[in-house]
Structure 1
Amino acid sequence: MSGVLPPEPDRGATEEDGGDLRVLPLDDDEAARLINCLAADTARSTLTALQNDPATASELADGVGTSLQNVRHHLDNLREAGLVRVVDTRYSVKGREMKVYAPTRDSLVVCVGDSADVD
């Protein structure tokens, strides 16, 4: 699976710009939340769509081919798992505020083993 980790580590990445390396043991609650979140095809499609350009929930719903409510549900889960963040705000033609989402820039590794083994 290409694109999971960057080909070369970004030596200039800092916590502020979201360039951290997250290492999660498989038995960790955060890893479980992440795996459960990515188990859904729509969540993976939504995250993949965001790799190209930041987008609003309605743009993602159109691009992924599902309902706005379904995309919002998966975006909430992706945010809780630390995979997606809000990067901007746009306004609809009706003047409604819409969040613009983008993937986080963290590299993520889930390790099999005891959480005491990961430091």
Structure 2
Amino acid sequence: MPENPEEKLLILQLSEDSRKIARLFSNETSIRILKLLDRRSMSAADIANELEMRLNTLKYNLDSLLEAGLIRVRQVKWSRKGRKIKVYEAVEQIIIFLPGKKIPDMSLILTMLWQHCLKSKEGSDFSDVLELSESSGVYCEPGL
């Protein structure tokens, strides 16, 4: 999980930013990239080879995922020719979309996340999410 609690939970009301993220989740290429980067960190060339995709098409998708904060540059390496090679990784984050304009009840959201975790087949441990509160790291998109 991310080091900063602010990165663990992102709550978005309907806005241009939330629409951009929703579009990325409906884009099959973005999903394939996220799944790859969830398994291991990779360079753009490695991702392009794995997905059998042209590098310029991949670059567009990587830039969109970076801008949305769904991936990040883990490190920058140098090639033998002296070129920068960015190594990307997925950002582990819980994202909640809120359709309404009301300020959400954070305790209700956290309780629902915990209940979902308990029902999860994978048995993921979201216990650290329960420790989050408005004052200690739940990040809400400005306007909430």
Q: Same fold (TM over 0.5)?
A: yes
102, 124, 139: which one pairs with 1:116? 102
Q: How does 1:24-43 map to 2 (within 5 A)?
A: 24-25=12-13, 27-43=14-30
Consecutive unaligned residues in structure 1, runs of 5 or more: 1-9
C-alpha distance after superposition, 1:11-38 (max 9, x if no partner) = x9524xx64200112x222210101122
Aligned pairs (5 A) from 1:44-59: 44-59=31-46
Structural mapping, 1:1-119, within 5 Å: 14-15=4-5, 19-25=7-13, 27-111=14-98, 113-118=99-104, 119=144
- Structure-2-length-normalised TM-score: 0.65
Q: Which amino acid aligns with 1:50?
A: L
Q: Give the TM-score normalised by structure 1.
A: 0.77
Q: Which has the higher helix share?
A: 2
| Distance in 1, Cα, partners of 2:11 & 2:19 | 13
Q: Which amino acid aligns with 1:102?
A: E
Partner of 1:7: none
Cα deviation code 1:58-114 (max 9, x no counterpart) = 110011110111111001000111100111012223221111111112211123x21
- For the aligned residues, what is the CA RMSD? 2.0
Larger Rg: 2
User: Unaligned stretches of 5+ in structure 2?
Assistant: 105-143
Percent of aligned positions with the same letter in both sequences? 23
